[in-house]
Amino acid sequence: MPAPRRAAAVAVLGAVPLALSAAPAFAHGSLGDPVSRVAQCYAEGPESPDSAACRAAVAAGGTQALYDWNGIRIGDAAGRHQERIPDGELCSAGDPEFKGLDLARADWPATPVDSGAYVFKYRVTAPHKGTFKVYITKPGYDPARPPAWSDLDLSAPVATVTDPVASGGFYTFPGTLPERTGRHLLYTVWQRSDSPEAFYSCSDIAFAGTGTAAGSGTGTATGAPDATDAPGGTPASAAPAASAPSDAQIAAGAGQSTVEHHGHGDQDATTTTDPTTDPTTAPGTPADETAAAPDRPRAAGAGAALAETGGDGGTPYLAVGGAAALALGAAALFASVRRRATRAR
């Protein structure tokens, strides 16, 4: 192949992977061990859950919340978790679709744990960079009351990890559960580092010899012996064991999920996770609002953290546009060289 034609072909081929790699990736998931409320209820079956608590969640919010188990999120959180999520709505992240998960009940199936080292497993359906923080409720937590931010020990996360590597559909990372007794709640926050988007989940756990050893990685859960169909209602049988949804269950329910993995950044404001304004520069936003407070996660995608990725949320789209322009120009060059070669014959 003549040198000019070879150069044009290389330019065209080189532009293709650039355009593909510039497309943004998007994160979705929920804690799988200890299993989150929403993942556990989805695994039980959205249309007919086994446990009383999950049936109550469906009665309150419908089945769609369970099919969308990996989409409890705030698109423009940017580390402002306490500001954006009201007390009593932590498990739904303030999203009405998931309001059934906020029900104050003492019979949510709970993963049995012991104090000490624990290996956490986060079920991820779209990996991305970011920081995970897992918080636990303080001693004296009452599961019959809606959890508030003040119930969480925000000063001492039980696990913190940045950019773990996903394997087998899970992010796996170590943590340490403190001394506790009885039922408690774990609250997981996954703040993306290349986007203001954050994901949230609640996991019920039970200390003091109620089941499998800590760190077993089983994700199995057990119900309280006095489980009821509603708080204060008629006693029902104990909630059955549950676990994070399997690959087969995820695939089976994919067609009924409204969670988008690749539609973000489009012009549909009801489905995209990308904010329409920059939360750090929006009118009325204090200059120091995104600074990390000692008792709350910091926006890993805000401020100085942008230097780590070399751009902000718009960078991938600029890259795609540039790659497209390069591809068009290379194609035109290739056509021109070919015409000249034809005339020369």
Q: Is the pLDDT of residue 137 over 50?
A: yes
Q: Is the pTM of this model over 0.95?
A: no
Work out the pLDDT band at 246, boundaries 50, 70, 90.
Answer: confident
Work out the pLDDT band at 53, boundaries 50, 70, 90.
Answer: very high
Q: What percent of the chain has pLDDT over 70?
A: 57
CA distance 304 to 32: 31
Helices (H) and strands (E) in the chain, counts: 8, 10
Per residue in 173-220, pLDDT tens? 999 999 999 999 999 999 999 899 999 999 999 997 543 333 444 444
| Cα–Cα distances in angstroms (integers) from residue 332 to residues 7, 17, 265, 338, 341, in the given order | 12, 18, 29, 10, 14
| Cβ-contact 81, 292 below 8 angstroms | no
Mean pLDDT (whole number) for 11-30: 46
Q: Containing H/E element for 32?
A: strand 28-33
Better pLDDT: 197 or 342? 197
Mean pLDDT (whole number) for 293-316: 34
Residues 6+ apart with CB under 8 A from 193: 129, 130, 131, 162, 163, 300, 301, 305, 308, 309
Is the domain spanning 28-256 CATH 3.40.50.2300? The answer is no
- Can you tell me which residue has the tokens 């019979």? 107
Tell me the residue ranges of DSSP E strands in 268-326.
none
Q: What is the mean pLDDT of the chain?
A: 71
Mean pLDDT (whole number) for 250-263: 71
What is the DSSP secondary structure assignment for residue 235, as one 8-state letter? B
Q: Which contacts of 245-254 are long-range, i.e. CB under 8 A and separated by 24 or more positions?
A: 245/39, 245/42, 245/43, 245/69, 245/123, 246/43, 247/169, 249/42, 249/43, 250/125, 253/42, 253/46, 253/67
Residues 6+ apart with CB under 8 A from 252: none
Q: Is 252 exposed, middle or buried (0-12, 13-18, 19+ CB in 10 A)?
A: exposed
| Rg of the chain over all Cα atoms, to the nearest angstrom | 24
Q: In the chain, what are the domain boundaries?
A: 3-22+313-344, 28-256
pLDDT score at 256: 80
